């Protein structure tokens, strides 16, 4: 069975990759892509590698990898000169050339309707992997033959009558352990991740910890909160067809400075540059405690990648309390939950007073759970079972 996976990632990944691999520009597409995926440590590429060893033919396409995609276009004589829609042109050509049995799009957006329509005669089945960004996407989602997610509860909460929904867990890419340097814990508490308008609670909790003297290292690219940036956000929300409520909130933020804006200003005084790929795992591994605060739209459900990344590298995970945490970890032994920012502050102070002895034990148990249960083998088994029933 041939499967083509489409995925987009942060642009910053590419900048770092080419900075660390300046000679890559002289390589052919196959080697170029191999080195890029090896650097990125994406769970999707690790899953694809495993599937290729077990009877499948899987390709991962990073849609927005401009330099890499143009190498492919050049090798395959696809004309994109002076073409502003280079991404659509190249990806559509790749779908037509690969002719997959299954076109699998991770975290679909409305723009993917272009591929779905224009390439409909070149793939047999369509699947989506749904993360947290699923609001206002019912019409898009209904087009898929299969839907995969790491949180069925979240999807059913949004779309109670949705069909063909299957749970497969995202997982910790174990290759990361071979790439990071095993060093002593040099940070007490770290948070590594995005802080945008979609993470208002995250910004509030982190700024509260900073204001209360917690020795917290934050590695993030903070969203801009100046007038021009806020105006651009309103325009982007309209273009991306976000809900009217979100747009109205953006307009309000433009007129009256919000708590979020004030929290960002607090964090901007202590925030360190963002880290990605191997460096991301290295920072997590170097901490006694790794914080996880879900994106706001996750509501009462959990299951983001950071939960597996923190535990996978052997760091104690402290995560916001969610209804589904206990489906993933033993919340009394393998991770620590917090309910409010005041509760989290108390937990962190007690951990420091205890010299982080308890968190050290929890980290070991959390890592064991992730490595043995949240891995590529478990995810493959679930996915393989679904695909054999739905396509074979």
Strand 336-338 to strand 316-320: parallel, antiparallel, or no bridges (unpaired)? parallel
28-57 pLDDT tens trace: 999 999 999 999 999 999 999 999 999 999
* Residue 329 DSSP label: S
Asked if 217 and 189 touch (Cβ cutoff 8 Å), the reply is yes
- Rounded to whole angstroms, how far apart are CA atoms 286 and 391? 44
Q: Which of these CATH numbers, 1.10.10, 3.30.420, 2.60.40, 3.40.50, describes 2-171+375-390? A: 3.40.50
Cβ 304 vs Cβ 298: under 8 Å = yes
Q: Are strands 102-106 and 125-130 parallel, antiparallel or unpaired?
A: parallel
pLDDT at 73 over 80: yes
* Residue corresponding to tokens 């891995």: 375
Top-confidence residue, 80 or 53: 53
The per-residue pLDDT for 19 is 94
pLDDT above 90 covers a percentage of the chain that reads 78
Q: Which residues contact 181 (CB under 8 A, 6 or more apart)?
A: 282
Find how far residue 306's CA is from the centre of its chain: 8
How many CB atoms are closer than 10 A to CB 208?
Answer: 17
Structure tokens given for 47: 């899953």
- pLDDT tens, position by position, 209-233: 999 999 999 999 998 755 555 565 5
Higher pLDDT, 84 or 314: 314
d(CA 196, CA 199) in angstroms, rounded, equals 5
Q: What is the mean pLDDT of residues 88-97?
A: 96
What are 291-301's pLDDT values in tens digits?
A: 999 999 999 99
Sign of CA dihedral 311, 316, 320, 321: positive
pTM of the model: 0.90
Binning pLDDT at 50, 70 and 90, where does residue 133 land?
confident
The tokens 């393989």 sit on which residue?
384
Q: Which of 374, 376, 237 is nearest to 304 (CA)?
A: 374
pLDDT at 386 over 70: yes
Confidence of residue 248 (pLDDT cuts 50, 70, 90): low
Asked whether residue 144 carries a pLDDT value surpassing 80, the answer given is yes
* Banded pLDDT at 253 (limits 50, 70, 90): low
- Give the H or E element holding residue 346: helix 341-353
Q: In the predicted model, is pLDDT for residue 255 greater than 60?
A: no
- CATH homologous superfamily, domain 175-373: Glycogen Phosphorylase B; (3.40.50.2000)
What pLDDT, on a 0 to 100 scale, did the predictor assign at position 181?
86
- CA pair distance 157, 140, nearest whole angstrom: 17
Closest CA to 219 of 294, 317, 287, 151: 287
> Could you give the residue range(s) of every CATH 3.40.50.2000 domain in the chain?
175-373
The predicted pLDDT at position 284 comes to 97
Cα 170–chain centre separation: 9
pLDDT > 90? residue 240: no
Share of the chain above pLDDT 70, in %: 91
| pLDDT greater than 60 at residue 146 | yes
Residue 121 confidence (pLDDT) above 90? yes
At 356 the pLDDT is 95
pLDDT in tens, 192-201: 999 998 899 9
* Mean confidence (pLDDT) of the chain: 91
Report d(CA 60, CA 375) in Å as an integer: 19
Over range 12-38, report the average pLDDT: 94
């Amino acid at each position: 069975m041939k499967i083509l996976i489409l995925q987009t990632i942060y642009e910053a990944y590419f900048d770092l990759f080419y900075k660390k691999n300046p000679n890559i520009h002289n390589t052919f597409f196959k080697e170029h892509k191999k080195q890029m995926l090896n650097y990125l440590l994406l769970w999707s590429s690790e899953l694809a590698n495993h599937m290729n060893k077990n009877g499948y033919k899987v390709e991962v396409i990073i849609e927005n990898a401009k330099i890499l995609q143009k190498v492919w276009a050049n090798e395959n004589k696809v004309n994109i000169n002076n073409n502003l829609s280079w991404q659509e042109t190249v990806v559509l050509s790749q779908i037509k050339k690969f002719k997959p049995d299954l076109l699998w799009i991770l975290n679909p957006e409305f723009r993917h309707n272009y591929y779905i329509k224009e390439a409909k005669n070149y793939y047999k089945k369509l699947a989506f992997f749904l993360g947290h960004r699923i609001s206002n996407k019912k019409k898009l989602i209904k087009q898929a033959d299969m839907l995969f997610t790491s949180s069925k509860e979240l999807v059913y909460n949004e779309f109670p009558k949705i069909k063909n929904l299957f749970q497969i867990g995202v997982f910790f890419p174990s290759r990361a352990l071979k790439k990071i340097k095993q060093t002593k814990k040099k940070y007490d508490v770290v948070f590594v991740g995005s802080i945008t308008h979609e993470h208002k609670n995250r910004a509030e909790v982190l700024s509260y910890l900073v204001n209360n003297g917690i020795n917290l290292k934050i590695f993030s690219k903070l969203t801009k909160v100046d007038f021009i940036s806020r105006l651009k956000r309103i325009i982007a929300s309209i273009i991306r067809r976000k809900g009217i409520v979100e747009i109205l909130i953006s307009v309000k933020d433009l007129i009256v400075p919000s708590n979020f804006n004030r929290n960002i200003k607090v964090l901007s005084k202590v925030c360190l540059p963002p880290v990605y790929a191997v460096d991301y795992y290295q920072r997590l591994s170097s901490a006694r405690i790794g914080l996880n605060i879900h994106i706001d739209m996750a509501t009462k459900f959990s299951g983001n990648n950071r939960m597996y990344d923190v535990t996978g590298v052997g760091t104690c995970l402290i995560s916001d309390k969610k209804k589904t945490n206990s489906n993933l970890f033993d919340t009394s032994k393998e991770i620590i939950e917090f309910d409010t920012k005041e509760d989290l502050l108390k937990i962190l102070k007690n951990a420091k007073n205890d010299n982080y002895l308890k968190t050290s034990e929890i980290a070991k148990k959390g890592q064991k759970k992730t490595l043995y249960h949240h891995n590529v083998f478990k995810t493959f088994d679930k996915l393989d079972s679904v695909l054999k029933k739905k396509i074979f």
